[in-house]
Amino acid sequence: MTKLSVNINKIATLRNARGGNIPNVVEAAQKIESFGGQGITVHPRPDERHITYQDVRDLAPIVKTEFNIEGNPVAKFINLVMEAKPAQVTLVPDAEDAITSNAGWDSIKHKSFLQEVIQEFKSNGIRTSIFVDPDEKMIEGAAETGTDRIELYTENFAVKFAKGNKDGITPYTKCAKLAKELGLGINAGHDLSLSNIRYFSEHVPHLDEVSIGHALIAEALYLGLETTIKKYLELL
């Protein structure tokens, strides 16, 4: 079964809009786990506009499932990950002013840099994943970095699927098969939702984990958090 890791950035966004500590991200993470969520994902950005670095420190000792920290591996981020020691770190090449992640790594151009960073994390017992576009050349490049997994950037699929174009799944299927052949684990995320997750998971083989935040939290406004999580688990 594909694991569901819930990204709680949007819960932190709601808290930060008002100040104070409501909703409490630690409590939210615990509730998500109790509802069946199989992982907690956070993506702290340098400006800390949603998840803060202190949130990561607070979450690290209480997450009982798999803790996944995403981000661009600048020095500050690397130090935070080394301190928190999550189950997984996902490297994302987002600019500091990016609203959300919008591209995967060029794993060929940045091969040496990624190799160095990945080796540092792996030597500390942290599983590594790198965010990549569904491009077979990038998958091949990722394998040469030493990463344990890739995370397929799924926005292109989601946009096409919403327009009724199911052919958008094809590159993801091909990349997943190639990644498996190269010994890589396969994660996926970005704009996956209740409306497209079943189709995606049924057509992308060897899928280890999906990381879902924005859509899941938005859907939970109408359905409730527990019901939404259970629906995802059923569809997966």
Kindly report the number of other CB atoms within 10 A of residue 194's CB atom: 16
Q: CA 60: distance to chain centroid?
A: 16
- Say if CB 40 and CB 8 are below 8 A apart: yes
Which of 70, 151, 209, 219 is an active site residue?
A: 70
| End-to-end CA gap in the chain | 7
**CB burial of residue 156 (10 Å; 0-12, 13-18, 19+):** middle
Asked about 214 being catalytic, the answer comes back as no
Question: Of 33, 50, 151, 190, which residue is the catalytic one?
Answer: 190
Do strands 149-153 and 3-7 pair parallel, antiparallel, or not at all (unpaired)? unpaired
CA dist 156 to 53, 102, 236, Å? 30, 10, 20
CA–CA distance from 5 to each of 33, 145, 183, 204, 232 (Å)?
A: 10, 24, 22, 17, 10
Which position has the token pair 């591209």? 103
Active site residue 70: yes
Here the tokens at position 46 are 């340098």
- Per-residue burial over 124-137, b = 16 or more CB atoms within 10 Å of its CB, e = otherwise: eebbbbbbbbbbee
Which residue numbers are catalytic? 43, 70, 190
